[in-house]
Chains A and B, each alone.
Chain A
Amino acid sequence: DTGVSQDPRHKITKRGQNVTFRCDPISEHNRLYWYRQTLGQGPEFLTYFQNEAQLEKSRLLSDRFSAERPKGSFSTLEIQRTEQGDSAMYLCASSTGTVSYNSPLHFGNGTRLTVT
Chain B
Amino acid sequence: DQQVKQNSPSLSVQEGRISILNCDYTNSMFDYFLWYKKYPAEGPTFLISISSIKDKNEDGRFTVFLNKSAKHLSLHIVPSQPGDSAVYFCAASDPFGNEKLTFGTGTRLTIIP
Residues of A participating in the B interface, judged by any CB pair closer than 8 Å: 4, 31, 33, 40-45, 48, 50, 55-56, 91, 93, 95, 97-101, 104-110
Contact = CB atoms under 8 A, between A and B. Distances in A.
Contacts of B57: 101
A106 to B, nearest CB: 7
B105 A4 contact: no
A11 B41 CA distance: 14
A48 B42 CA distance: 21
Contacts, number: 62
Contact of B42 (A93, A99, A109): A109
A40 B41 CA distance: 14
A33 B100 contact: yes
Contacts of A45: 100-102
Given A100-B32, A104-B34, A105-B46, A43 B89 contact: yes
Contact of B45 (A43, A55, A107, A110): A107
A99 B99 contact: yes
Given A43-B89, A99-B32, A104 B46 contact: yes
Interface of B: 4, 6, 9, 32, 34, 36, 41-46, 49, 51, 57, 89, 91, 93, 98-106
Contact of B105 (A40, A55, A93, A99): A40
B46 A43 contact: no
Given A99-B99, A107-B44, A109-B43, 18 more contacts: A4-B43, A40-B9, A40-B105, A41-B106, A42-B89, A42-B104, A42-B105, A42-B106, A91-B43, A97-B99, A99-B32, A99-B93, A99-B101, A100-B49, A100-B51, A101-B51, A105-B46, A109-B42
A37 to B, nearest CB: 8
Contacts of A98: 99
Nearest to A4: B43
